[in-house]
Amino acid sequence: MDAALAACVPQTRSQIHKTHREVIGERTARDYAALKPLPPPPHGWRSGMAVKNLPG
């Protein structure tokens, strides 16, 4: 994600977003800071494990 973000916003970081009315670089920094790492998987979870009995 870092590479994609770095590639798509450098030219627009100082522009004002037309809907939000804030500087794009400031909004991007705030949004990026709000991203948190995923929690650890549940105990006993194995990668590739099938999920069964989902509601819906």
Let me know if residue 25 belongs to a domain: yes
Let me know if residue 21 belongs to a domain: yes
Let me know if residue 12 belongs to a domain: yes
Higher pLDDT, 18 or 2: 18
Let me know if residue 51 belongs to a domain: no
Task: State the burial class of residue 28 (Cβ atoms within 10 Å of its Cβ: 0-12, 13-18, 19+).
Answer: middle
Confidence of residue 36 (pLDDT cuts 50, 70, 90): confident
Which residue range forms the structural domain that includes residue 28? 2-34
Let me know if residue 39 belongs to a domain: no
Let me know if residue 53 belongs to a domain: no
H or E stretch covering 29: helix 24-34
Let me know if residue 56 belongs to a domain: no
Higher pLDDT, 35 or 49: 35
pLDDT of 21 reads: 86
Instruction: Please count the structural domains in the chain.
Output: 1
Let me know if residue 44 belongs to a domain: no
pLDDT of 51 reads: 61
Confidence of residue 17 (pLDDT cuts 50, 70, 90): confident
